[in-house]
Amino acid sequence: MKRNNTRRIIQWSLLWIVIITIALGWKYPVLGFSVPLVMLAGFIGSLFNGRYVCGNLCPRGAFFDRIMSVPSPQREIPRIFRNMVLRGVIFIGLMGFMTYRLLQNPSDIYHWGYVFWQMCVITTGIGIVLALIVHQRAWCSFCPIGTLQSAVGGGKNQLKIDSDA
């Protein structure tokens, strides 16, 4: 019980990163740099503890658990979302698109912040739609950084998606 309470407190604290980044990143692109920081934290965390960051320290996961669990029908997540081929295609596609966009203006830090913000808006938007149709954590089952964490983490501490939001 104590672990779940601590997790809730941490998640309520972290979800504001996503909300503030999305709400203000278009005007203040530097906020977009929260995205690669979270990505880096997920990657570093995976070296030691698999997908622990996904389930406990990811700001977007916190947003989905704390906010989107309310309107979500919490249906079973389709198996195809967990398919490693699909996850690999999504990983390559989104990372390729992000790299392409970053290289359009590689010397402008504001452009980079805007690209990171844009990626956050697009992927969170997809996640919100899936949360409203399937399950609040449906996005997490094929999130590119979660896919990377699974690959690097060697199956340690796999993300358990349940209704204990």
Q: Which tens digit of pLDDT belongs to each residue from 24-59?
A: 999 999 999 999 999 999 889 888 887 888 888 999
Mean pLDDT, to the nearest integer, of 18-26? 98
Per-residue confidence (pLDDT) for residue 72, from 0 to 100: 98
Per-residue confidence (pLDDT) for residue 51, from 0 to 100: 82
Output the six-digit token pair for 104: 């359009």
Residues 154 and 130: their CA atoms lie apart, in Å, by: 27
Mean pLDDT, to the nearest integer, of 96-118? 98
Per-residue confidence (pLDDT) for residue 113, from 0 to 100: 98
- Split at pLDDT 50, 70, 90, the class of 163 is very low
Residues 46 and 152: their CA atoms lie apart, in Å, by: 6
Per-residue confidence (pLDDT) for residue 68, from 0 to 100: 98
Per-residue confidence (pLDDT) for residue 153, from 0 to 100: 73
Per-residue confidence (pLDDT) for residue 52, from 0 to 100: 84
**Burial category of 8 from C-beta neighbours within 10 Å (exposed 0-12, middle 13-18, buried 19 and up):** middle
Residues 158 and 26: their CA atoms lie apart, in Å, by: 34
The whole-chain average pLDDT of the chain stands at 91
Q: Does the structure show a pLDDT above 90 at 20?
A: yes
Q: Does the structure show a pLDDT above 70 at 150?
A: yes
